[in-house]
Amino acid sequence: MKCRLIRDMEGPNPEYDFAKAQKLGRRYDVPPNLPLPIGTVLDEPDAFRLVRMGCAEPADEECAKAAGMSPEAFEAAKLAYDKMEKGMATGNPQFDADPPAEEDEDEEDIFDDE
């Protein structure tokens, strides 16, 4: 089952050895995760889960069938992941992060010495 990432993510490093990391501590310099850029194709048995989360798109028919999502549901999953990344996951302004401020071109700059 294959999926293609639509977001930059991190994935496990195959060269990382947990036992060595525990034994050597800070002297063990192999990172546990590696960057996975947009467009990376993953061939994993659980690839459909990334599609359901809105992080990847199906790269084969098997993944699309396992994800079982309509195009509308896929777009909704991408939007939900975007909100979660920005800290606006609950929809409640009391708990969510403030949306980024938009700059208004009509506003005067109070520090402008013209």
Q: What pLDDT is stored for residue 110 in this prediction?
A: 58
Q: Which pTM was predicted?
A: 0.69
Q: What pLDDT is stored for residue 80 in this prediction?
A: 87
Q: What pLDDT is stored for residue 7 in this prediction?
A: 92
Q: What pLDDT is stored for residue 9 in this prediction?
A: 92
Q: What pLDDT is stored for residue 104 in this prediction?
A: 58
Domain boundaries, the chain: 2-85
Q: How far apart are CA 101 and CA 23, in angstroms?
A: 47
* Sites in the chain below the pLDDT cut of 70: 99-114
Please, are residues 58 and 5 in contact by the beta-carbon 8 Å criterion?
no
Please, are residues 60 and 2 in contact by the beta-carbon 8 Å criterion?
yes
